[in-house]
Amino acid sequence: MKIISWNVNGIRAVERKGELEKFLAAHDPDILLFQEIKSKSEQVQNLIEKYSEFQQFYHAAEKPGYAGTAIWISKNEKLKIKNEELKFHVGMPDFTDDEGRISRVSFGNFEILGVYFPNGGKSPAAWQGKLEFYEKFLAFVNKLRAAGKTVIFAGDVNCAHAPIDLARPADNDGKIGFHPDERARISKWISAGWRDVWRSKFPEKKDVYSWWHVITRARDRNVGWRLDYFFVDNSFFSKVKKIDYLTDQMGSDHCPVSLEI
């Protein structure tokens, strides 16, 4: 099974650029987790029709042109997932998900989540909300795991965890996106038995990022941040065959991350 997570920064924009079609042809994913779709369900009817080989679920933000997540599941028979098995869920307990931040699909014993974590930079309240989101999300996935589920979660975490995860750690130390308080939350996930798949596979590998500032053309110089992740439970890590950052894929300020299990 190949699962790919991608913050598309506007799914209709990526489609208009021709990059979505190019991406699907090149990588043939079984499950797609999209973040920052910036679209309501009624605005993506052309995608539902054009890419009918996928069962598509959308969780839009109430605010137009903002945030939102989606999950696409291939109808390919090799997956052996029956339509009646698929259940789509949004949000998490004790959290009003009016920004479409959490999408989850269940089938068999799997719970697969695509998440667009808050940035936290708008205001002091937004910053506190980001830290609370990290805490609530950990409790949520821990509960799913405790119920005996195989949990995989991925998406734009909006935090570079360690100095190796951004090009200029000294310049950004203490800033949102590389603040010690949010980095401590990611460390807490890891202490709770959730593996950052990429860093577990490649603990010393440098210069691999998933987001670059557009205006400064930072991607051309690879001055980036690794903000997009896959996490699995420690006990499931041995099932991971491969993980890649698809840095050649254009269309967004983020690149996709591909996990094969």
Tokens found for residue 148: 């005996």
DSSP 152-165: EEEEE-----SGGG
Respond yes or no: is residue 156 known to be catalytic: yes
For residues 77 and 125, what is the distance between their CA atoms, to the nearest angstrom? 47
- β-partners of residue 72 are 32, 56
Identity (one letter) of the amino acid at 29?
Answer: P
Q: Among residues 30, 156, 165, 233, which one is catalytic?
A: 156
The three-state secondary structure class of 144 is helix
Task: List phi, psi (to 5°) of 130.
Answer: -65, -45
Strands 31-35 and 2-7 turn out to be parallel
- β-partners of residue 146 are none
Residues with active-site annotation: 156
